Structure 1
Amino acid sequence: MAQRGGPAPFPDNPFQDPAAVQPRPGPELDAYNPFESSAPPYQVPSAAPPPLPAAGMPPPQAAAQPPRKASPTEPRNYGSYGTQVPGREKAARPPQGGPRRRREPQGLAFPPQASAAAATAELLKRQEELNRKAEELDRRERELQNAALGGTATRLNNWPPLPSFCPVKPCFYQDIPVEIPADFQKTVSTMYYLWMASTIALFLNFLSSLAWFCVEPSSGSGFGLSILWALLYTPCSFVCWYRPMYKAFRSDSSFNFFVFFFVFFAQNVMYVLQAIGIPNWGFSGWILSLIALRKNTAVAVMMILVSLCFTAVAVLGIIMLKRIHSLYRRTGASFQKAQEEFAAGVFSNQAVRTAAANAAAGAATNAFRAP
């Protein structure tokens, strides 16, 4: 208990006591340094290489060093690969920027033998194709050289393409890629297809006329004329207008152009008559198709198909006539040039010259014998 009249043992504010505010210095506090470490300082190894062991002696083993303790201020390595528990290591991942190996799909790999065989077969196929093209180019080059040297007589006729056992041999030589200039090859090929289409239309006309004759026995004259047109127009159209057109584009002949225009114009008129289909004329055109529609539907449908073929051939013939005429005018040909070519061709013909010589000799002999 506090004594009366004496000083109080505790002040009113204990935080104002100088003993509590100012600690007393001591040797323990002055000597303590929290930044010091009890571990020995790290020694940097020397850069000098160790001495080589003598021959026949085993290499010295590195002395076991005690593990270094981490200082209080050194951060510890949590989760590094060296501190993982054995048996739980994870596979190292490739770097983000490095190349990644592509995984091949299972079941799509081919054996090397099959791949090599397929590649060899492909190379052999290409080699055969190249050899075939080379032979074709050599053949065309030889033909062009023969044509330039005047060796057309050595060419073998190849049209019509008849089998070898047939007694009738080809009559003409035709090779559009070789003989026709590149600018006119498409036109000549189109005219050849037009001739083939007209031939097929005449054959179908013969079949439809036969069907109509079976339905209508009084149409025998039309059936007979359909046979005549099929046998007559097929060779005559080829010789009279296709071959002159072929020769005209091959040698730029004005005379052959004039022959073609005259004959092919008449041919187009016949195409129009075939499409019209006048009864008893041998053409299954539109008029005869409408008449057959009243008696037999199947025969009428056949005739309508033939009429469509005749109409298409007629339209294409008129278009090609105008196109070839425009090409002819751009070549600079004229009627005077055609006359000159005709005269030169007539006088250069050996048979014509022989006949003219014989006629002149006979006239001279008769003149001397006359009294």
Structure 2
Amino acid sequence: MRFGRLALAASALLLLTTASVPSGTPLSQTPRHDVFSADTAEDGRRGAAPKPAVLRPPHEVPFGAFVGSWDTYIPQIAKLSTWLRNADLQVGHTYLAGNGWADVEGENQVLGLWSQWRLRDPARTLVLGVPMLVPNEGNLSDGQVAALLARGTKGEFDQHFLKLARKLVAFGGGDTVLTLGWEMNGTTYSSRCRPDPAAWKAYWRRIVTVMRSVPGQHFRFDFTPTRGLDAIPWTRCYPGDDVVDIIGMDAYDMPAGASFEEMVTEPYGLQDQVEFAARRGKPVSYPEWGLFRNGDNPEYVRRMIEWMRTHDTAYQTVTDYCPHGFWGCDRNPRSAAVFRQLMSGSKGAPGGVSSRAPARR
């Protein structure tokens, strides 16, 4: 739920030679027993198998925050750490703009600066939002999106993702976590699934295959819908266990009046996410979370952090600007106090994200 387009610098840090290759989530009234109908068709196990064990003893989770576009964010990490009494922010989170294909290929300076931050500590991880289509915030119709997805499945856009993969590896970011086509079950972005779910899944698979073809990569691909039903059940967009490493969820405090228990139990909500992931032996993540429709809500903050610490969570990054955040937003003093109390001094997880989500080779 990142609003506006990121401003990226035009200067180049390094010249690389690369070859081309041949939001709002309403609480749904859907009956809970229908939630995983698409999943049932996929594996035939829903209903017969017992619920998987998804709770874990309380544990630290690698964490960070998104507080703005790349040129101001990296210095803010140290300031946020100081505010949290020297907590170890192990996760850096940013996005590639999606105005054109050059954005998706990655600005050299952006990738270079983030890689420098990443390489200073082996426990750190870069999480990078990667659009699947451009313009990613261009208000494209469903018909336009479907036509672009069809072109993607035929390999027309492969070269852009190959260039991005090669740049990341060259800069030292070969283990980056990629939230490819994030919030695909909604309507905000062009990289969305509803116009043609079959084509979307085939295109995701093609992108992953292209990026994994680059020597030296250990990328992890994070399938990250919004919480709840939204425009389409996110299970209908799931591209397959072999091309997904982490099952994420952008989970804001919404809609207005919703309790945390409703966020857990709603169809396609938090409980369905962790069960879906557990059946596949995959961790979950929360690349975007924060306040939104219920004002200064410390109970949500407390419960969300507790949820992440008691499930198989690879990482979490709060969206820390108004109205969502705590340190970078003065509208939420009670929530900020709870967040600071719970996260102050946290050392994250030993080994960082890599200890929670081994890369697929």
Please indicate, yes or no, whether the TM-score normalized by the shorter chain is above 0.5.
Answer: no
Which has the larger share of helix? 1
Q: Which has the larger radius of gyration?
A: 1
TM-score, normalised to structure 2's length? 0.18
TM-score, normalised to structure 1's length? 0.18
Q: Per chain length, whose mean CA-contact separation is higher, i.e. which structure has more relative contact order (CA < 8 Å, sep 6+)?
A: 2
Which has the larger share of strand? 2
